[in-house]
A and B are shown apart, each in its own frame.
Chain A
Amino acid sequence: MLRVSWKMLVGDTAKYLGILFSLAFTTLLITQQGATLLGILSSTTSFIDSIGGVDLWVVDARVQNVDDIKALTDTQVYRVRSVPGVAWAVPLYKGSIKARLPDGTSQNCQLIGLDDATLIGGPASMLSGRLADLRNADAVLIDEDAARDKLARRDANGQQQAAGVGATFELNDHRATVVGVYRGQRNFQSQPVVYTTYNRAKTILPNERKLLSYILVRLQPGADVVSVQTLIRQSTGLRAYTGEEFSSSSLAYFIQNTGVIMNVGLSAVMAFVIGGGIAGMTFYDFMLDNQRYFAVLRAMGTRDATMVGMVTLQAAGVTLIGFGLGIGAGAALLRFVLANSEISLTLTWPLLAAVGSIVVLVGVVAGTMGLLRVLRTDPAVVFK
């Protein structure tokens, strides 16, 4: 009888496709909105997440998020170093700068200055060149996307030439030579991220009095994080976040001050309500259309359990196929159409699971309502 049930559903081609299409469309929209939200949120903290091996981020006491930079003085690095429990403390510069390319165009970039001695905070994954080459004259590292696109150079024929090791451009009238290309996470502004050393950043930006954005701290083995945080606060007046604290503080700041959750969340909810509503209503409509035939089947001796199985198959079938189509389209959209968008959009398992549960919810509600309708219909109506 399950085969009969499935045929009853797909036999009504218009309704069947209507249900599938609206479920697929809902899935697609929610997936895209969800991926956008996750992409935006993770890009706000991607800089913090990308720097490993650091126990504490020390910043001005008023700083609440990673993009709110209040520069410190170099001497504060020494003061942090002298706090008991601190194994090492190094400076990190982060700021923006305009790069001038050989073809005369210019490009806004983020500039990161790493501690000259240790290069702590440098990119983890080099595609070409070596991190240590940053110590060469004028050396910088650029990310792979920038090398391919924003820092690429047009040749005489107007063709883009990827910027590799040896390519040069100017930062604030200072020559910069690419000594390596790394693989990095995309940041929110989708600007090229150029790494150099802390002292070279100072030379490039001679007019800025204070260049120290963060002090990166590693604790001595066995040191208690909270007490070192307190000691730093007491002896320097600076605030020491763990990476996790800094991430969540940045995230909270971002969410509170941009309304991004509201915007993207609202679109996702609307997609759910409209798409899910249409799918659910079409399915219910299908059940209404077939109410008479379900009553005939019950008169002919179909047990209630069999009816439940038949309707469940119909609801589960359209839900799964609709979800599959929607996720397929969503994955294709993220992979091919939106691949070069401002933020990185990826279909993660938690997102898949979340969208799946939402769509299953639609299927369960529609199926249950249809089933109740069928089971409540008096089979005696068959003679009416």
Chain B
Amino acid sequence: MSASAAASSATALRCVGVTRSFASSAGPVPVLRGIDLDAREGEVLFLVGPSGCGKTTLLTVIAGLLRRDGGECSVLGEDQEAMDKGQAADFRRANIGFVFQAYNLIPTLSVAENVSVPLLLNGRSWAAARRDAEAVLASVGLADKADESPSRLSGGQQQRVAIARAIVHAPRLIVCDEPTSALDHKNGEEVMRLLRQLAREKGSTLVVVTHDHRIYDYADRIAEMDDGRVVRISTPAEAARHDQ
């Protein structure tokens, strides 16, 4: 499947004028100063920019885990802040997958059990969840690690498990915060390649926060942020030209 075929006209994510500030001893500090951003369904969108510019904060707002102060933000046409707490949880459970920098695998569960969790949350039986988890683990090259404890895997392997967990229930949107920054170059590329490939297969939209120039080529578009605003949106080729 090519990038252009996956990119449909439907909008997966739309942010208009999103603002958010945090309280500090010196009064409120604006962190998001009016974010305008959208992503089409199936698109791979990177969020890049200097440290502290608000990337993680924006991702948390998009995921529905942090309230915005102003502006609009909808995922799959739905505003999560208009839902009550339970509905919002149901929405995330069905539609959003998560990949973290720190993997966040549950250490007392096996690899396959970790991957099963989103399916179990969505009401699948233990056995059915296990079957699907094994299939996704095979596609990230970890079929033989299903019964291992996550702590016995390398960082790259753990992040591949996390990818399997994020994608196993085919969510429409996957949010990733620095998924490769704890990994060396080779493992980082492998993780990004798998993430993109599986997202394409399932038709999921990917929003990836990253610092990692080496993986820019995996993006369809790159949104550059600075000081709480999106300052430029470009293709990987354009971004590479700007960097020189």
Q: What residues make up the interface of A, taking CB atoms closer than 8 Å to B?
A: 1, 3-4, 7-12, 290, 292-293, 296-306, 378-380, 382-383
In the bound complex, residues from chain B placing their C-beta under 8 Å from that of A297 are 117, 121
Question: Are B65 and A301 interface neighbours, CB within 8 A?
Answer: no
Cα distance A382–B105 in the bound complex, in angstroms:
11
Q: List 21 A-B contacts (CB under 8 A).
A: A1-B117, A1-B120, A3-B126, A4-B117, A7-B108, A7-B109, A8-B109, A11-B108, A293-B106, A296-B106, A300-B98, A300-B117, A300-B118, A301-B92, A301-B94, A301-B121, A304-B85, A380-B60, A382-B65, A382-B104, A383-B65
Known: A302-B93, A380-B60. 8 other contacts (CB 8 A): A7-B108, A8-B109, A11-B109, A297-B121, A301-B90, A301-B118, A303-B89, A383-B56
In the bound complex, residues from chain B placing their C-beta under 8 Å from that of A305 are 86
Interface of A is mostly: helix
Partner of A302, one of B56, B89, B98, B177: B89
Question: Are A299 and B98 interface neighbours, CB within 8 A?
Answer: yes
In the bound complex, residues from chain A placing their C-beta under 8 Å from that of B96 are 300-301
Cα distance A4–B165 in the bound complex, in angstroms:
15
Question: Are B104 and A379 interface neighbours, CB within 8 A?
Answer: no
Question: Are B104 and A292 interface neighbours, CB within 8 A?
Answer: yes
Q: What residues make up the interface of B, taking CB atoms closer than 8 Å to A?
A: 56, 59-60, 63, 65-66, 85-86, 89-94, 96, 98, 100, 104, 106-109, 113, 117-118, 120-121, 126, 177
Question: Are B65 and A380 interface neighbours, CB within 8 A?
Answer: yes
Cα distance A379–B80 in the bound complex, in angstroms:
15
Question: Are B108 and A8 interface neighbours, CB within 8 A?
Answer: yes
Number of A-B residue pairs having CB atoms within 8 Å of each other in the complex: 79
Question: Are A8 and B66 interface neighbours, CB within 8 A?
Answer: no
Question: Are A383 and B106 interface neighbours, CB within 8 A?
Answer: no
Partner of B98, one of A10, A293, A296: A296
In the complex, which of the residues A293, A298, A306 has the most CB atoms of chain B within 10 Å of its own CB atom?
A: A293
Cα distance A298–B90 in the bound complex, in angstroms:
10
Cα distance A297–B63 in the bound complex, in angstroms:
14
Cα distance A304–B93 in the bound complex, in angstroms:
13
In the bound complex, residues from chain B placing their C-beta under 8 Å from that of A302 are 89, 93, 121
Q: Which residue of B lies closest to A13 (CB)?
A: B108
Minimum CB–CB distance from B229 to chain A (whole Å) comes to 20
